[in-house]
Amino acid sequence: MLIQIPAVIDQAKLENIRALLSKTSFVDGRKTAGIMAQRVKHNEEVQTNRQQAEYLDHLIMSALANNAAFRDAVLPLQVAQPVIARYTPGMSYGDHIDDPVMGSAGAHFRTDVAVTVFLNSPDQYDGGELVISTAFGEQRVKLKAGDAVIYPASSIHRVNEVTRGERLVAVTWIQSMVRDPARRELLYELSLARNTLMTEQPDSVTTKQVDHAYVNLIRMWSDI
């Protein structure tokens, strides 16, 4: 399931993030890559002190946590601290699959879903499309600043070479309460119908039936 969510981060927060990044150093992204990824990864990642990292984490993750579409699509159980990456001309990230398990000792989590949040405008760089392999072929994603895309961490994906300007993104990974992607997709579609009914027909019998079915399916299918 590939879902685009508009305006996850508002303009004021984007300006704060970019102002901080303009004063922050970046390091070779291969330092955080696994053996296979090191062969195809060519970008830079933010090197922050603890205070900067906590502030950036708060700005990005609070925006995601407060977004209903994100919560309904992902059903988050554990969320990784975001990685902020920069691509300048000549940089790219070849075909790869994200690590299945992340985290430090004693705090490991499964990566079911990946999220990329775009931090600068697409007209500020050429190339740099996120290309995700799906059952319907390759999907190319290059969104407005503040928009996000959700996709399976198990999918083969890449970032095309940037040929002009600078691409800034934040990437994070989530362990969902519902491990099976087909069940998550069904629950997401059901949540869309449930939300519409709760808005338009809050007191109807149908609304109550759909709400009960949704809640109990999560109870039945969740890992917790």
Q: Assign residue 13 the CATH number of its domain.
A: 2.60.120.620
- Identify the three-state secondary structure at position 35: helix
Q: Which sign, positive or negative, has the C-alpha torsion 215, 77, 176, 79?
A: positive
Residue 142's pLDDT band, with cuts at 50, 70 and 90, is very high
Note whether 143 and 186 are same-domain residues.
no
Total domains in the chain come to: 2
Note whether 205 and 122 are same-domain residues.
no
Note whether 171 and 195 are same-domain residues.
no
Note whether 26 and 98 are same-domain residues.
yes
Contact 149, 130 (CB under 8 A): yes
pLDDT tens string 2-33: 999 999 999 999 999 999 888 888 998 887 77
Note whether 51 and 70 are same-domain residues.
yes
Domain stop point among 159, 176, 193: 176
Domain stop point among 160, 176, 192: 176
pLDDT of res. 48: 66
Provide the residue type at 98 as one letter: D
Task: Give dist(CA 11, CA 27) in Å, integer.
Answer: 26
pLDDT tens string 52-97: 778 888 899 999 999 999 999 999 999 998 999 999 999 999 999 9
pLDDT higher than threshold 70 for residue 184: yes
The stretch 37-42 carries a mean pLDDT of: 88
Exposure string of 191-214, with b = 16+ CB inside 10 Å and e = fewer, is beebbebeeeeeeeeebeebbeeb
Note whether 129 and 204 are same-domain residues.
no
Angle between helices 205-221 and 181-200 in degrees, nearest 10: 160
207: containing domain: 181-221
Note whether 89 and 54 are same-domain residues.
yes
Exposure string of 52-61, with b = 16+ CB inside 10 Å and e = fewer, is ebeebbebbb
